[in-house]
Each structure stands twice: as structure tokens, then as C-alpha cells.
Structure 1
């Protein structure tokens, strides 16, 4: 929490400047000396509710806006999973609302067994050619093509031809379990 408090002054200064107010203007509006505001913004004066409440009212922000933690590291660092010849790279953090993966399908002689489960699936072919068996349809999607389908329809996928196919896939929770065999919280 002390790291959050260290950012109150700079965030206060940024909010004031974003509204085009000088130190003098803001201090006068909040009923404090320019020196006090300057010291508060520079971190030389400790923030207190007595000082922050009039400032946040004048700026039209909440005290919480000054205390929000820094943005977390946005990089996804989850291990790649290899199973049944597939390479499955998670592209979203654990527990994300949207389950996104880059899946590499190897070339195979026989299409995997058709599966059915609740939900929808969205996919986009990044490289190679993807064979998508969807009910009675037997389709080949190439780089740049996308598909969306109801997963109640029996379906299966593999690379088409002699080269792997890389696909960006988005699943609901049940789709993650069926296609990646990864447990979801």
C-alpha cells in the first residue's frame, strides 16, 4: 500500500494539469495555500483526508482514483501444453472471461473423433490449412479465414495437407475442457 500512497501526489498533479488548472488556481479553489498543494503533489507533504477531500471535490474525482495501484504486467505467462500432437499456447490470463489459445494442429492421416459440447467456438487460421469437419460439412480453411460455430454440432479439426496449421481459438469454458483438456477454475 505504501507504493500506492507514493503515487497520490503525481496522480493529483496529473488530474490538476489535465483540467488546465495552475497550482494557484487549484489551491484557491480547495481553500489551501499554494505551498501546501505543491508539497503534496511533490510528495514532500503526507496526504490526509483533510487535504484530499477538498481537492478531489474540485477535480471531480474520487479519492480512490488517487490510490489505484499501478497497472499490472499485462503479459500472459502460462506454460504451453503439448498433448495428442497439439501445441496449445494460452493467450489469456488464468481465469479470464474469454479463453483464447493459439493451437498448432499437426498433419495427421486420420481426422480426430467428432465431438459435441455446450457453447460456441470461434477460430482464425494464422498459418497453414485447417480441416474442419462440422456435421456433414468437410471444410478446408486457409490463412486469414475464420469460422464460428455452435459446438452442439459434431466437429473435429486437424491440419489439412503435410504441414501444421496454426489457429487462434476462442472457447467458452466447456470448449476449453474439451479441446485443450485444461482445467478451468
Structure 2
């Protein structure tokens, strides 16, 4: 236990320097004073949950990574499906904050649902794995077959469902507060 706690400070300092963040900027972001952050990084202050939680949120890393907790148990992820709006969402990511990944399943229905567009804060990217997705986006009514993708600001009224009553499977990346997924081209390709 002592060794784990002693390693937290140097790990925090390395992470801050790796990200190019000053103590002043980190203090402003987390609400933790510069002196406390400095003492924490140098090992003169013990890490507490009250200090580590805002740091994990700011760095967008799991708390276990900050304290160097050893990996335990089964490495496989066993996500709990979430049922909403007659659809199934399987979370594929577990990090706090940032972009969240889901596999979404629209079950087959003999009678397709009537669209009821909704809005919320965020940004969404989706990719159709199987089936035919109906995407109502503002005034547009689109049908996306397998292999097609779409990206949109969720403050625009939108609705997702089956285009033909069959089951649809898709991957979704959702960024709260307008966070967007970034696709970077390979600079080595012409």
C-alpha cells in the first residue's frame, strides 16, 4: 500500500508534463490550489479521493490509472445493456467524460415506429453495421444501408429507427457538450 501511494505523485507530475499543462492551468481547471498540487506531485501530500477525482476528470483517465492500481480479475468487459426508447444500447467504453461508444440495436418490428424527433446536448457519429437505418434529421429523412455513416449535432431534432421494420445494428460515438470524434488521415498516404 505504501509503495502504491508513494508512486502517485510522480505519476501525476509525469502525466501533467506529458500533457503540457502548467500547475496554474491545472489549478484553475480542477479547483485545487497550486501549492496542494505541487505538494501532491512531490509526495509531501497524500493523495485522497477528493483530490484524485477532479484530476481523473481533467486528464480524462480512469482513477485506477492515476493510482497505478493493479489489473485484477477477468480482463473481458461485460457491459450491461441499457434499454431506452424501445432500443438496446450496449456501452463499449467506460471512461468518465469524453466520447462514449455504444453498440445500438433497433429490434425488428412488424410495424415501424412513427418518428418522434428529440434534441439534447452533444454530438453523435454513427455507423450502420447491419439492417437499414432510418435517420430523421431536422427536415431530412434518410435511409442508411450497412457501411454508411452519419455525423450530426444532437441539438438538431433527430430520430433513429428501422427503415423497413427489420432489425438494425449500429455503432455510435456520442460526445456530450458537443465533443466530436476526430478522424485523422494518415500523413504518409498521398
TM-score (norm 2): 0.51
- 1:146 and 2:149 correspond: yes
Gaps spanning 5+ residues in structure 1: where? 5-66, 176-185
Mapped partners of 2:78, 2:97: distance in 1: 13
Q: Is the 8 A contact 1:117 1:174 kept in 2?
A: no
> Greater CA radius of gyration, 1 or 2?
1
Return the match for 2:171 from 168, 173, 185. Answer: 168
Offset of 1:68 from its aligned partner?
5.3
The verdict on how the C-alpha distance between 1:77 and 1:171 changes in structure 2, with shifts beyond 3 A counting, is same
Q: Is the 8 A contact 2:115 2:136 kept in 1?
A: no
Offset of 1:109 from its aligned partner?
2.5
Gaps spanning 5+ residues in structure 2: where? 5-66, 179-190
Offset of 1:120 from its aligned partner?
1.1
Q: Which moved more, 1:129-138 or 1:103-112?
A: 103-112
The verdict on how the C-alpha distance between 1:152 and 1:69 changes in structure 2, with shifts beyond 3 A counting, is closer
Mapped partners of 2:85, 2:126: distance in 1: 19
Mapped partners of 2:69, 2:119: distance in 1: 43
Q: What count of residue pairs does the alignment treat as equivalent?
A: 113
TM-score (norm 1): 0.52
RMSD across aligned C-alpha pairs, in angstroms? 2.8
